Amino acid sequence: MAHAPAIDPEVETSLVAPSSGTPDVSVVVTIFNEAETIDDLATRLRAALDGFDRTWEVVFVDDGSSDGSRGRLRQVHEQDPRMRVVLLKRNVGQHPAMAAGMQASRADIVVTMDGDLQNDPSDIPKLVRALEVEGVEVASGRRSQRADALMGRQLPSRAINAMLRRLTRVEISDYGCAFNAYRRAAFEPVLHVIGRQKFTKALVLSTGAPVVEVDLINHPREHSKYSRIRLIRLALHVLTGFWPQPIQWAGLGLGIVCGVTSLAVAVYGVIFWAVESNFPGLAFLSSLVLGVLAVQGLILGLLGEYVIRIQRDVERRPLYVIQEILE
């Protein structure tokens, strides 16, 4: 893939004057060690958005890159001030970085996308028009022909999507696609939570925001940042993030199973003692141990509720710290 030539900030002046007022569309792009593709990405973004009859801005969020991405972003901003840059002090992860960009965006319609060129900027007008034509608050990107490996990415993704559909009760097919368009009214109520939870789209849709799915181009990802272990951790995050009662259910299940088993063993011990005239010490000891486990399970369920309440109240540490914004 040919890359656009590097821009020399000492020679080339800004091609576009800074826009005044609020743009119609903000595009939030997260960047982490993408120095080789930033020039190409900026060129494609400018071509797609200049050909669209909307005023626009791009908000690049550099998530603590260490490969020269920041220098490339500075040069992109100098060439076109409509391409703003948010530099985070350290790497905090894709979702907190996305939250920083959404917070910094100014338009009523905000499009989110990755910066690895798997998402095609030419699809931005399609997402925005879907919002306007369908009268919804979320245009959800759907990778209809995924370029990822079947076993390594697609099957785990399908399992996680099935979990999210069940937990959010919103029937869309691709929760993992980061290429989406939102109306500000859809994400502002949960903006303080975005980043603390993965799957920003699932979080927004769980509030009841109306949604339409849009088929998008999906280019191959040369270097996936998701290992199998990370995908497993992601599935666990879905359970703990969107299913608020896992500890309660685990405690209740343990209490019921151990309680019923304890009672059954105790009944067996009494019958054995009556029939055989022999005291079944081991059976009664087992019944006692299972009874204690049943009580502990019920206590675990109660503690789980308290832990969730405490977590909601005290988890207030900052998700990200902005080092600099290039306006």
- 3-state secondary structure at position 206: coil
The CATH number of the domain holding residue 185 is 3.90.550.10
- Do 103 and 322 form a contact (C-beta atoms < 8 A)? no
pLDDT tens for 208-235 read 899 999 999 877 665 445 555 665 665 5
pLDDT tens for 13-70 read 344 545 557 999 999 999 999 999 999 999 999 999 999 999 999 999 999 999 999 9
Pair 55, 186 in one domain: yes
**What tokens appear for 318 in the block?**
């900052």
CA dihedral over 76, 79, 83, 84, signed as positive or negative:
positive
CA dihedral over 60, 62, 67, 73, signed as positive or negative:
positive
Looking at the 3D structure of the chain, how many domains does it have? Answer: 2
Left, alpha or beta for 122 (phi > 0: left; psi -120 to 50: alpha)? Answer: alpha
Pair 50, 178 in one domain: yes
Pair 178, 84 in one domain: yes
Give the model's pLDDT for residue 24.
96
pTM of the full predicted structure?
0.70
In-domain check, residue 100: yes
Pair 225, 306 in one domain: no
| Band of residue 327 on the pLDDT scale cut at 50, 70, 90 | confident
Percent share of the chain, pLDDT over 90 = 40
> CB within 8 A of 30, min separation 6: which ones?
61, 63, 94, 97, 98, 101, 114, 115, 178
pLDDT tens for 81-132 read 999 999 999 999 888 999 999 999 999 999 999 998 889 999 999 999 999 9
Pair 170, 308 in one domain: no
Q: Could you tell me the residue range of the domain that residue 180 belongs to?
A: 25-243
Q: CA-CA distance, 185 to 222, in Å (whole number)? A: 35
DSSP codes, 82-115 = TEEEEEESS---HHHHHHHHHHH--SSEEEEEES
Mean of per-residue pLDDT scores for the chain: 81
Q: CA-CA distance, 311 to 241, in Å (whole number)? A: 12
Pair 57, 164 in one domain: yes
Pair 169, 133 in one domain: yes
Pair 135, 277 in one domain: no
pLDDT for 246 beyond 70: no
Domain boundary among 215, 243, 271: 243
pLDDT for 307 beyond 60: yes
Pair 253, 239 in one domain: no
In-domain check, residue 16: no
Pair 262, 229 in one domain: no
